[in-house]
Amino acid sequence: MSLRQREVARRLYAKELNESTLVYKEHEDTYAPQYLLTPTGAQCNRVFVVGLHLQKRKTLALILTTGALDWPDPTGVFPIYAGQYQQQAVTQ
């Protein structure tokens, strides 16, 4: 059994993340990672974001919490979602 190493999280501006639309897999293996291709050509499997959580709204009968990280990124906001598998994020 080979151990897979976790990929490095990429640091992106909100505008770059929000403008990224192409998602792909390099091969069709069940556990193959999905990548996001950004407009600058970066391949992202994980993204590192930092900001201030200013909005919180519960939707879908309290199953999903939505919000946005607004600060300190001057290019836009990061939309965030926390669902039934992130109970700690939903309750805070």
pLDDT digits (tens, 9 = 90+) for 6-19: 888 999 888 998 89
- pTM of the prediction? 0.64
pLDDT digits (tens, 9 = 90+) for 42-80: 999 998 877 776 666 666 555 566 677 766 678 888 777
SS3 for 78?
strand
Confidence band (pLDDT; 50, 70, 90) for 22?
very high
Q: Where is pLDDT greater, at 84 or 23? A: 23
CA torsion sign, 17 to 13 to 77 to 88?
positive
> For position 89, what pLDDT does the model report?
56
Distance CA(13)–CA(52), nearest Å, equals: 14
- Domain residue extents for the chain: 7-48, 50-92
The continuous run of DSSP H or E covering 88 comes out as: helix 87-91
The torsion of the CA quartet 13, 17, 19, 24, rounded to 10 degrees, works out to 150
